[in-house]
A = this chain, B = another copy of it.
Amino acid sequence: MTTASKKPRIGIIGTGAIGGFYGVMLARAGFDVHFLLRSEFEAVAQNGLRVESAVHGELLLNPVQAYASAADMPPCDWLLVGAKSTANVELAPLIAEAAAPDAKVLVLQNGLAVEDRLRAALPDSLHVLGGLCFICVHRLAPGVVAHQAFGAVNMGYHSGPTANADARQAIVEEGAALFKAAGIDSQAMPDLQQARWQKLVWNVPYNGLSVLLQASTSALMTDSYSRELIMDLMNEVVAGAEACGHSMPEGYAAKLFATTEQMPDYWPSMYHDFREKRPLELDAIYSRPLAAALDAGRDMPKIRALFQTLAFIDFHNI
């Protein structure tokens, strides 16, 4: 691991499916990766991290540089936040503790405005970036992640000490280069909010309907009524994004729809949250987009109805 010391040091905050997968991939590419864990610390310290990937085969990282406390971590240049957005307020102090003075914090979460509360609670010297993961992963057991398909991470600059657009873009490209060095497709996006809206075109229909209808993607893509509803919801996201000044690429919804049809059967992350009685990421994926679109004069009635039913379910699920 002598080469690792010349590369940026990476900290993984929240080693669930997302943090686990990307952390293992980066560590295998020779980066010096440190993992902060909570409930799974013992299992990972003992048995390492395992990714059962349909793409890359079985990947085992053992030993793992695992920590139960952020105070024990060395200062990291990059911090990847893979925890649920519902925990962001609690995460901020841990991130600050593990961060080098000018560290870059990459928030690998879905939805809108997930960086805002983190940002407010982090030192001004830290750069905050947002990352969108196009990936099918889920946690199988403590320290074990199933990777079904894809893996790309698109990222954009959110906020930080640099106001200069070129300097911001250089930081985003540095981040994308880390992932590319680990064999992961990654793009530096010029506009983070636009990228977040684009990701919502998938998340809004599939995450919510997987919970509401207790159905995975292949069931949702088989029934003619759910297909129609998915397309309607996607079109509402596209219209909402456009009202907010973020136009989507031509035919984007139809392309995502077709891609999902070709995907292996998949249970979106919100379904796993529901099953394990964790709070659902309704604020990031529904409330914030609904509020943003409404502020721009555009209601998204079917998305609102979906949100209202999910909020009822979430309340009764805890």
Point out residues on A near B: beta carbons under 8 Å: 209, 212-213, 215, 219-220, 223, 225-226, 228-229, 232-233, 301-302, 304-309, 311-313, 315-316
Task: Given A301-B301, A304-B302, decide whether A223 and B309 contact each other with a Cβ distance below 8 A.
Answer: no
Bound CA–CA A315/B306 (angstroms): 20
CB-contact partner of A306 in B226, B305, B316, under 8 A: B305
Q: Which residues of B have CB within 8 Å of A225?
A: 307-309, 311-312, 315
Bound CA–CA A225/B307 (angstroms): 9
Q: Which residues of B have CB within 8 Å of A306?
A: 305
Q: Which residues of B have CB within 8 Å of A229?
A: 305, 308-309, 312
Copies in the complex: 2
Q: Which residues of B have CB within 8 Å of A307?
A: 225
Q: Which residues of B have CB within 8 Å of A312?
A: 213, 215, 220, 223, 225-226, 229
Query: Could you list 5 examples of A-B contacts with CB < 8 Å?
Result: A209-B309, A212-B309, A213-B313, A229-B308, A301-B305
Looking at A212, A229, A305, the one whose CB has the most chain B CB atoms below 10 A away is A305
Q: Which residues of B have CB within 8 Å of A220?
A: 312
Are B302 and A305 closer than 8 Å at their CB atoms? Answer: yes
CB-contact partner of A308 in B219, B226, B304, B313, under 8 A: B226
Residue of B at shortest CB range from A303? B305
Q: Which residues of B have CB within 8 Å of A233?
A: 305
Distance in Å: Cβ of A265 to nearest Cβ of chain B: 15
Q: Given contacts A228-B308, A229-B312, A301-B305, could you give 14 more A-B pairs where the C-beta distance is less than 8 Å?
A: A213-B309, A213-B312, A213-B313, A223-B312, A223-B315, A223-B316, A225-B307, A225-B315, A226-B309, A232-B301, A301-B301, A302-B304, A305-B305, A305-B306
Residue of B at shortest CB range from A315? B223
Residue of B at shortest CB range from A213? B312
Residue of B at shortest CB range from A302? B305
Q: Which residues of B have CB within 8 Å of A223?
A: 311-312, 315-316
Distance in Å: Cβ of A212 to nearest Cβ of chain B: 6
Distance in Å: Cβ of A61 to nearest Cβ of chain B: 40
Q: Which residues of B have CB within 8 Å of A316?
A: 215, 219, 223
Distance in Å: Cβ of A236 to nearest Cβ of chain B: 9
Residue of B at shortest CB range from A224? B311
Q: Which residues of B have CB within 8 Å of A209?
A: 309
Residue of B at shortest CB range from A301? B301
Bound CA–CA A232/B300 (angstroms): 13
Residue of B at shortest CB range from A223? B312
User: What 3 pairs across the A-B complex have the smallest Cβ distances?
Assistant: A225-B311, A229-B308, A301-B301
Q: Which residues of B have CB within 8 Å of A232?
A: 301, 304-305, 308
Looking at A209, A212, A215, A312, the one whose CB has the most chain B CB atoms below 10 A away is A312
Distance in Å: Cβ of A227 to nearest Cβ of chain B: 9
Bound CA–CA A305/B229 (angstroms): 6
Residue of B at shortest CB range from A311? B225
